[in-house]
Each structure stands twice: as C-alpha cells, then as structure tokens.
Amino acid sequence: MEKEALIPRIGVVTDIRRDTPDVKTFRVVGTDGNKLFTHIPGQCAMLSIPGVGEAMFSITSSPTLEEYMEFSIKKCGCLTAWLHQMEVGQEVLVRGPYGNGFPVEGAFRGKDLLFIAGGIGLAPLHSVINYCLAHRENYGHIDVVYGSRSMDDLVDLEEIKRDWIGAPDMDVYLTIDREQEGWDGHVGFVPTYVQELGFSTDKTAVLCGPPIMIHFTLEGLKKLGFADNQVFTTLEMRMKCGIGKCGRCNVGDKFVCKDGPVFSFDQLGELPDEY
Amino acid sequence: MMYQIPMESLDRLLAAIAAQQKLYLPTDNTAGEAVYTEWTQGAALSKKLNTLRSAKDFFFPQIQNMAKFRREGKKIEVIDDRAEADDFCIFGVRACDVRSFDVLDNVFLADPVDTWYETRRKHATVISLACTRPGETCFCHTFGIDAAKAGGDIQCWETKDTFYLEPLTEKGQALADALIAADGELLTQCGADQEALVEKETERIHKILEKLPLYDLKAEDNRERELELFRSKKWKELSSHCLGCGACTFVCPTCQCFDIEDFNNGETVQRYRCWDSCMYHDFTLMAAGTPRLTQTERFRQRFMHKLVYYPKAHDGLFSCVGCGRCLRKCPIHMNIVKVMETLKEEKE
C-alpha cells in the first residue's frame, strides 16, 4: 500500500538543552543519522511517544541547518512532561512537515522585518529569524522585540546574546515583565515596549506569543500606522491529524494545520473570530 | 441498460451477489431498527425507510486501527499492518447516504489521501435503492438529491412485483456482467415497456416527496454571509438546550471528525482513530484553553461547518444530505432544519 501520512517515522533525540525552567530544546534526526525532512520556517511537525500522546510542535530550527531539526518545547501537559524527562538517545515518532510556513520567499523578500515574540512564542519565530540571517542579502533590517515573565524565562537567551545581538543590520530588544536582580535591560510588557520603540510602518511585522500579547501588540501596531496585511502571526489550535481531515483546528473554512498556521491579519479579518 | 427480476426472486439475487463478494444489506435487528448486516441465507431486506446508523461506517468505521508500536527502552518499533480491503458490496443504500460518500470523498481522498478510506472505497460496490416511502423527516430534495434515483454503482427500484437494477458505473456494470455470467437466467434485460414502469415509479415517489412537510425547505447559498451568520445572535437561543451529547454527529452520514488515541495492551501500543464530535467540550481543548468556550460556540461550529464552511471549501456542496437521522435522534428535538429556518428569518 502507498505511504500513509498519519503513520509516523522514527526519530532519535541526539541533544537536549534546558532553555528555561520549563522549556527544553530537543535535537532530532532520523535513525540513519540524517535529517528527517526539509521544511519551510514556520512549519510544524507531530511528535509522539506511543501510549503517551501525540501533539503538534513548531520546528524551531532553521531549514538552513542541514544535519538536524530542533523543537523548543514548554512543559505543560502529559506528552510534554514525558518529553522533558527523556534522555539523549530516546526514539520519538515524527511526522510532517505540516502547514504553510512564513512567506520567506514571498512577502518577506527585500523587506525590513520586525519580529515580536512573548515567552515560548519565540519558538516558531526562531526558525524564520535564523533563516533570514542565513540568507541575509534577501532581507532588509531585522528588529526583534522579545519579552518574557522573567530573565530565566527568555528562551534561547545564550544564542540571542551570541548570534543576534550585535549582528550587522539587526537590533534586538529584550524585556522582562518585572524588575529582577541581575537584569539591567528593559522592564515592561511587550506591547508597551513596542509602542515606546515606535517602529516605522514600512516594516513587515511578525507576532507570536500568548493571545493577550498578540491582541495588545496588534492594537499598538495599528496605532503606529501598520496595515493588517503588513502583520503576520502563527496560530495554535488543537490538532490530531495535521492534514485537514480530523476537523479540529478550523477557523471558518480554513484549517490551521493545512492552510495555516501562518496568517496575515487581513486574512484573519475575513475569517470568523474563533481562534 | 436496465435489468429486472421478480420480487419473489430477490433472495436469489442477494445470494448471487454474495457468491461474488461480501454483501451487506439493511436488516431489522431485535429492537426493530434497520442496521447493515452481512448477508446470510434467508436474510430479509428491511422495509424500513433507512438504517439507524448511516452507511459511512463502511468507509469510515467508528474505530479504525492505524498502526502498532512497540517500545523497548529508548527504542520504538513501528508496525504498519495496513491491508488492502476485500471487494464488498453494500446493498440498499438510500440516495441521501449515497450522496454522503461524495461529501466524505472530498475530505478523505484529498491530498494526502487517507489510505484506510481509499482502499475500502475502491473495493466497494454501492447498490442503491430508491425510497419507496420517503418519510416526514426526509429533506434530501433540499440538497438536490433525488430519492427516486438513488445513484451509486447500480441504482435500483423495488415495486410490488418487480425489482429493477440499472448499472451506472463500470464497477456496477462489471458486477451485473458477473451475475449474468454466473446465472444466465437471473436478470432479464428491460424493454421500453418496463423502463416506462420504472419512470412511473419515480413519478409516484416524486408525488410523495411533494407532500412531505420539509419539501419546501430551501438550502440557501450562504457562502457570502459567513461572518454575518457567525455573528448572529440566534445561536445562543438555538443552542440553549443542547446537551452536547453528540448523537447528531454519530448518526450523521457526513460528520467525519475524528480523534487519534493510543491503547497500551502491555505488549504493544495500538494507535487508532475513532469518531469524535465538535459538540464535545474537550474537542478543541488545549493546554492554553479552548477557542470554543460554551456549547453555543460548539453548536455554531457544527452547523456553520455543514452549511457554510464546507460549501465554501467544496464548490457549494452542502455537508448535509437531508437524511433526517438527527431530526429523529436529537433528545431535545433541535436540528439542522430549525437552524436553517432560523438563519433564514435572520435575513428577512
């Protein structure tokens, strides 16, 4: 019989990093040691452990990494708790990639890009930011505004300091919700910080984070003069199949797993407000 | 080409089909409900209007085993034990259920193809049967379905003394040819006179349909009104008594939402999918919450999907076939007909 999309392949975890008290990043390759599949930044994959569960995660690593894929995963349920206690060498089930991904070769080309993330919301943007950095000549100035509850909750802080801060034609603005010892950076919520920074409206903005952050940041961007078609986000919904058949992740007639997860706000404006 | 066989020889026809491939037909169970059962000698075709459960079970069963896994230490083994389906025949499918296969095809045969569904669909021959006595909960007409010409691979009519068969597809003709090859005296080719009798029978059925209470129900193309209907204030009232039991979903021939779960038997882990319902509170529940907080949003989803979202994605085809099962089974007597009529009022 022909290949069945819903039957997963085996992946091996080759590296585990603790990013924050509740976020770990897992490096996965196929059993032959090669990358399982190629993807577009913003696409997702289903990870599962037999008898524990299966869930959709965004692929955090950039497609430009040819040896492996990475997933930054926050511990928040059965499966994620299991993934957090596993050790290097553990096999996991993987299927994908799913979804449309960011228009890195379309609407983003040649644009100044403004990435705004909150908490674990950096995970899906991580892939696209690194993709843009790897193809630097195709994109304009890159701004990243990233905030979390505390210093310890900033995902990939080491990598941000090492690779992003100080990179040419790139500005990184970090913020945490409350004052903290050892933190001399900005303190305050992401939406307010974006307002204070006041970006020019010729940029293309990409938002990812908790719904409340997205709501207020979008409002702020509009106040600054951004149009809906200049702002992109990536949605999160319960999913079982990942291929538009199980009927669970629809927003109107669009399935987040297949037609999304990336939407511009003018696309979302035409859909029922239920996500 | 049309064939006929005397009604008293129907058993002979069924036995002849069953000699070719596995045959399923509606028979009455001990509770007096029509259910699809595998044919055995002496099985009597139900006289009921339609089966309790729809025919979707044949292609999208309530539980479908998907793959097995074995976990040992850090190792995982994937056992893909899918198999081609054997040829089988479903006999006596009504026009509404035949149309439901088109609705399901658009989902399961879309790229990437669902191989479990596809293999069953490929190996099935659908023999439909015109509704001799359509009933008061029937509204297939609303969706342009003709209860008197039921479609499928072979469409049939039963009259008082004669059973007529008309192959419509290559698959249907192949089965008819095989039946004739096995028993040259089983089927008689119809002449113009007999074909006129079939025409008369369809007219008789149409006359019954015209008198049914839901005959005038119109399905409106609401694709342009998606946001307006989504925001309608009527959903609250319509859903106010909904128990969220999901009975409508389970009897519905076009509802195809599913869940994927694992069952660990100690030796292996069986991954399976099973029917699910958008009417259930945990259907869209995530660690971060759910976008459908109350039964109103879940109720709205089910009907918006059937009447607006699905047609939007599939060229205007509705994801309701007017079989009336939900009208008969909803414990609070809420149904898609009331929803359609209420949304129409909204417009006026």
Q: What is the pLDDT of residues B163-216, one digit of tens each?
A: 999 999 999 999 999 999 999 999 999 999 999 999 999 999 999 999 999 999
In this structure, the answer to whether residues A136 and A220 fall within a common structural domain is yes
So what's the pLDDT on residue A1? 77
B105 shares contact with chain A (CB less than 8 Å): no
Contacts B276 to A, Cβ<8 Å? 240, 246-248
Q: Taking 90 as the threshold, does the pLDDT of residue B345 lie above it? A: no
Inside any domain, residue A252:
no
How many of the other CB atoms lie within 10 Å of CB of B75?
13
Angle A62-A92-B282 from CA coordinates, rounded to 5°: 90
Identity of the residue numbered A97: P
Q: Of B200, B251, B188, which Cα lies nearest the Cα of B52? A: B251
Which residues face A28 on adjacent strands?
A: A13, A69
Establish, for the pair of chains A and B, how many residue pairs have beta carbons separated by less than 8 Å: 137
DSSP B200-213: HHHHHHHHHHHHST
The set of residues, in sequence order, having a beta carbon less than 8 Å from that of A268 and lying 6+ positions away, is A228, A233, A251, A275
Q: Is residue A239 part of a domain?
A: no
Which CATH number does the domain housing residue A173 bear? 3.40.50.80
Helical ranges in chain A per DSSP H: 78-85, 122-134, 157-159, 190-197, 211-224, 265-269
Contact assignment for B69 to A50 by CB distance below 8 Å: yes
HSE (side-chain half, CA atoms, 13 Å) at A72: 24
Min Cα separation B28/chain A (Å): 32
Whether A121 and A53 map to the same domain: the answer is no
CA distance linking residue A38 with residue A27, whole number of Å: 14
- Asked whether the beta carbons of residue B257 and residue A2 sit closer than 8 angstroms, the reply is no
In whole angstroms, what is the distance from residue A28 CA to residue A19 CA? 16
Structural domain contains residue A104: no
As a whole number, mean pLDDT of residues A223-234 equals 95
Q: How far apart are CA A51 and CA A54, in angstroms?
A: 9
Question: What is the rounded average pLDDT of the residues A180-189?
Answer: 94
**Same domain as A212, residue A126:** yes
At B261 the pLDDT is 97
What's the whole-number mean pLDDT along residues A33-58? 96
Residues A143 and A215 in one domain: yes
- Is residue A181 a part of any domain in this protein? yes
Residues B337 and A256: their CA atoms lie apart, in Å, by 29
Contact B75 A253 (CB under 8 A): no
Please tell me the number of Cα atoms within 13 Å of B75 on its side-chain side.
Answer: 3
- Domain assignment of residue A246, yes or no: no
Cβ contacts of residue A91 below 8 Å, gap of 6+? A10, A11, A12, A13, A31, B74, B75, B76
In this structure, of A158-162, B64-68, B245-249, the range with the lowest mean pLDDT score is A158-162
pLDDT band at B348 (very low <50, low <70, confident <90, very high): low
Asked if residue A191 is part of any domain, the answer here is yes
Residue A226 lies in a domain: yes
Structural domain boundaries enclosing A69? 9-98
In terms of CA atoms, which chain B residue is nearest residue A80?
B287
CATH number, domain containing residue A55? 2.40.30.10
* pLDDT of amino acid B256: 97
DSSP alpha helices (H): ranges in B223-330?
Answer: 226-230, 234-239, 247-251, 295-304, 310-313, 325-329
Name the average pLDDT for chain A: 95
Q: Which residues of B touch A53 (CB under 8 A)?
A: 262
Asked if pLDDT for residue B111 goes beyond 70, the answer is yes
Over residues A94-110, mean pLDDT = 96
Q: Tokens standing for A28?
A: 């996965």
Distance CA B35, CA B184 (A): 31
Give yes or no for a contact between B324 and B135, defined as CB atoms under 8 angstroms apart: yes
Q: Chain-wide mean pLDDT for chain B? A: 95
As for how many domains chain A has, the answer is: 2
Instruction: Write out the two tokens for A29.
Output: 């390759």
Sign of dihedral through CA atoms B138, B144, B146, B150? negative
Record the pTM.
0.94
The reply to whether A204 and A123 lie within a common domain is yes
Chain A: residue whose CA lies nearest to B115 = A4
CA separation (Å) from B195 to A80, B99, B172? 65, 24, 18
- Whether residue B311 has a cis bond before it, omega within 30° of 0: no
Instruction: Tell me, yes or no, whether A153 lies in a domain.
Output: yes
Interface of B with A in 212-271 (CB under 8 A): 226-227, 230, 256-260, 262, 264, 269, 271
Residues A143 and A62 in one domain: no
Same domain, A56 and A129: no
Main-chain dihedrals φ then ψ at residue A158, nearest 5 degrees:
-60, -45
